[in-house]
Structure 1
Amino acid sequence: MLVTKHVLAASSTHSTPYYMVRGAASGPVMVVTSGVHGNETASMAAAQKLADDCAAGRLFIQRGLLIIIPRVNQKAYDKKIRGNPDLNRTFPRRLSAKAKHPLASAVFRLAREHGPDWWIDLHEANGLSQLSSRVLGQTLITNPGSRAVPACRRIIEHMNHSIANRDRHFNLKQHELPGSARTAAARLLKARSVTVETCWSLKRSVRIKYQTRIVHHFLREAGFI
């Protein structure tokens, strides 16, 4: 396994580090993004932990290529704000269209170069979806008809089995969000793309734990570990 650190959009004011983890054998490609919204810090901590665990040998990627961008929107993260404009509305919506923000363009260009089979985008949201279907906290979200749906259902079953408090259980949602990284990856790159949302009202350490476990489940589903 080989872990290398790089800089995305290095010559711009949007520069941010990312990691490439190459498994011992060839295999699928997965992109893990976090920090598209700069105030969702637990998801960023989980993504950074993923990169750090790979670099330290605590997590061994057996095959494939894993690309991790822990803090996509570094400028928004520095200010602890969601970001203006909302970066998750600026990814390309058609093959012939360009991203509406240079940072979204840089992220998508990197992904397109490597042709991801999977794209996991880590976020945080208000509310517990187990208590209200109108909120997004504690959900996995994918596009309708996505090939990721079976894996999402299995992962939700695993997660909920380990969570004693049923109010914190995860649910599956299926909808398109034009301009988001998830929908762009599904539509234009044909990736199995999923948004992971944990609930802001939970302790930060718990949110990091949930995000980390979910990513590990996706890595197993895809055959990386």
Structure 2
Amino acid sequence: MRIEKLTLARKTKFKTAYYVARGEQHGPVVMITAGIHGNEVGSIAAATSLIHRLQRGQLRFDTGTLVIIPIVNQSAYGLRIRGLPDLNRTFPKAKGQSARHPLSAAIIRVANRYRPSWVLDLHEANGFSNVSRKYLGQSLITNHWSASATLSRKIIHKLNRDISSKKRKFNLRLRHLPGSARFAAVTLFKAKAVTVETSWELPLSLRKAYQTKIVRHFLDHIGIKLHEVHARKDALV
């Protein structure tokens, strides 16, 4: 497995690191983004942990490619704010349109380069979707016509079997949101795209754990099998 560190929006004040991890065998390409909104720190923690564990050799995979942008909006993250403007409203709404922010434009260029078949956009939100439909916390969101809905339902079923609290269970939301990263991935690249939303009402450690588990469930079904690598005991002697 090879990991390359690159720079998104390199020639702008919004530059931020992204990583391309490649298995030894060709396979699906999955893009994972986090930190489009700077105050959604659970998603950032999960994406950052994933790339760190891959770099340290604690995780590996043999087939496919991961493109990971762990903190898209560095300036918003530094202030722990959603971001002005809201970056998730600046992506192209149709083919032939341009992105309205240097970061969203840079993400589109990276996606055009690697052509992901799946995009997982990690976020956080208010409330609990199982309490009221007006809340998005604890939900997976995809577009009405996206083929990703079937797999999202399977993963929600797996997650909810291990969640005893009814209000903490996950739900599927089908939302049409032009200008979002998810909408652009489907419209421009015909990718299957899912927005992951954990609830701010939960402790950070639990939100990170849910985000990590969801990503790994998706990757496993898509065909990128992550393997835990344990240090040999005799290596410490």
Q: TM-score, normalised by structure 1?
A: 0.98
Q: CA deviation at 1:6?
A: 1.2
Task: Kindly provide the CA deviation profile for residues 46-72 of structure 1, in whole angstroms up to 9, marking residues without a partner as x.
Answer: 000111111122222221110000000
State the secondary structure of the residue aligned to 2:32.
strand
Equivalents in 1 of 2:216, 2:188: separation in Å? Answer: 25
One-letter code of the match for 1:132? S
Q: CA deviation at 1:10?
A: 1.5
Identity of aligned residues (%): 49
- Alignment of 1:181 with 2:172, yes or no, is no
* Structure 1 spans left out of the alignment, 5+ residues: none
TM superposition outliers: structure 1 runs of 4+ over 6 Å: none
Task: Kindly provide the CA deviation profile for residues 148-185 of structure 1, in whole angstroms up to 9, marking residues without a partner as x.
Answer: 11110111011111111121000001111100000110
Q: Which residue of 1 aligns with 2:39?
A: 39
Equivalents in 1 of 2:166, 2:112: separation in Å? Answer: 39
Aligned length: 225
Q: Which residue of 2 aligns with 1:208?
A: 208
Equivalents in 1 of 2:53, 2:190: separation in Å? Answer: 28
Equivalents in 1 of 2:60, 2:151: separation in Å? Answer: 21
Q: Which residue of 2 aligns with 1:11?
A: 11
Matched ranges for 1:108-147 at <5 A? 108-147=108-147
Q: Which residue of 2 aligns with 1:81?
A: 81
State the secondary structure of the residue aligned to 2:60.
coil
- Alignment of 1:91 with 2:85, yes or no, is no
Q: Which has the larger radius of gyration?
A: 2
Equivalents in 1 of 2:205, 2:26: separation in Å? Answer: 34
- Alignment of 1:63 with 2:96, yes or no, is no
Q: TM-score, normalised by structure 2?
A: 0.93
* Structure 2 spans left out of the alignment, 5+ residues: 226-237
Task: Kindly provide the CA deviation profile for residues 189-220 of structure 1, in whole angstroms up to 9, marking residues without a partner as x.
Answer: 10000000000010000000000000000100
Give yes or no for contact 1:21–1:61 (8 Å, CA) kept in 2: no
Equivalents in 2 of 1:216, 1:18: separation in Å? Answer: 19
Give yes or no for contact 1:89–1:178 (8 Å, CA) kept in 2: yes
